[in-house]
Amino acid sequence: MSETVSLEDLYTDLHAHPELGFQEHRTAAIAAERMRQLGLSVTEGIGGTGVAAVLENGTGPVVWLRADMDGLPVEEKTGLDYASTATAVDAEGIETPVMHACGHDMHVTWLIGTMERLAAERDTWSGTVVAIFQPAEETIVGAKAMIDDGLLDRVPRPSIVLGQHVAPFPAGIISLTSGAAMAGVDDVTVTLHGRGGHGSRPETTIDPVLAAASTVVRLQSIVSREVTPGKLAVLTVGRLHAGSKSNIIPDDATLDISIRTIDQEIRDRVLGSVRRIVEGEAAASGMTTPPTITVNMSAPATVNSAEHTEILRASFADAWGSSIIDYGTVSGSEDVGLLATAAGVPLVFWITGGSDPETVMTAQAAGRFEQDIPSNHSPYFAPILHPTIERGVDALVLGARTFLGAP
């Protein structure tokens, strides 16, 4: 892709060509090529499909800027001219539609634009900037994969890690939160082992579908009845898979569960309650084989350095005034914090708006924000192009300059 391609064209191209985690070969190649066009040192294939590009400009701090690249197994319904029609085969061998339903295409666009700006304005700062294009954030394994593949030994070690995420705030708004900015996540798979048989003779079976349905209902009591009111905890059963035909009672039923918490004590309590309920429902159903409970992956809460967040807040406020807000802790999760933790350095991660301000204002006035403004992971999620692109690049450039040295 030519260096003359605008950021708008870059974004719409990335949006139309999403790729699942660890399949981001096209996206990674575009990012690497754009970085090479700037004359940067580029390393590809870190942790599978990760890319790191180093912009050295004299002595000074080392700032890492991170963008995630992967899309989601979602069928796009935005109706945009550049909407995705892509499909892919997922890790389970199932063909699925793919969409940038979480804005990672915008994140890549922001980071490329930021590196282009910083490279063009070397006389305004001193130090080193490392662009990290990370795979597989949606499965919370990409940051760890890059770390495990020697990221910290393959590029200059950071003084600080910065990043941002697009969300359905009004475009132009930025939310900065000190401390816990995003929740930690545990992804859990539960399999209930029953005894299959003919749908007309349920008395000869142990029905895992009924047990799974009861389990889903009972799991919803954990947050409402076992977590202290005011403490952040979210439990979602995102998938229930069982059976192949209406007249066959299957042997097994599988639940995929997402748990979000910040406090370690709450996390332990919720995970313990999940195990108790699953095992209890299996016993109540007369299952003779214990259920299988697997924690597939976990990531800690995304915790911003209070000191560095307030330094950046001052920079942003000087530039944009009342457009800088503090939304508080978000119940979504990220693995960007692992990069900072592995390096032993501060993290500042913020949220940048991407929705049409007038549309948001109208929805809020009508009390219909949740219904009318598509959220991340919705098949209708699509940030407006402008000023989302410009504000995101400006924020990442200013963020980097805030922690870099003077020329």
Longest dimension (CA), the chain: 80
Tens of pLDDT, residue by residue, the chain (407 residues): 334 469 999 999 999 999 999 999 999 999 999 999 999 999 999 999 999 999 999 999 999 999 999 999 999 999 999 999 999 999 989 999 999 999 999 999 999 999 999 999 999 999 999 999 999 999 999 999 999 999 999 999 999 999 999 999 999 999 999 999 999 999 999 999 999 999 999 999 999 999 999 999 999 999 999 999 999 999 999 999 999 999 999 999 999 999 999 999 999 999 999 999 999 999 999 999 999 999 999 999 999 999 999 999 999 999 999 999 999 999 999 999 999 999 999 999 999 999 999 999 999 999 999 999 999 999 999 999 999 999 999 999 999 999 999 99
CA atoms within 13 A on the CB side of 115: 34
Indicate the DSSP class of residue 231: S
Q: Is 406 left (phi over 0), alpha (psi -120 to 50) or beta?
A: beta
- Closest to 188 (Cα-Cα) out of 126, 261, 136, 245: 261
Query: 348: burial class by Cβ within 10 Å (0-12, 13-18, 19+)?
Result: buried
Place of tokens 């990409």: 142
Q: pTM of the predicted model, to two decimals? A: 0.94
Where does residue 353 rank: exposed (0-12), middle (13-18), buried (19+ CB within 10 A)?
buried
Contact 197, 246 (CB under 8 A): no
Tell me: cis bond preceding 387? Omega within 30 of 0 counts.
yes
Shortest CA distance to 295 belongs to which of 191, 187, 220, 178? 187
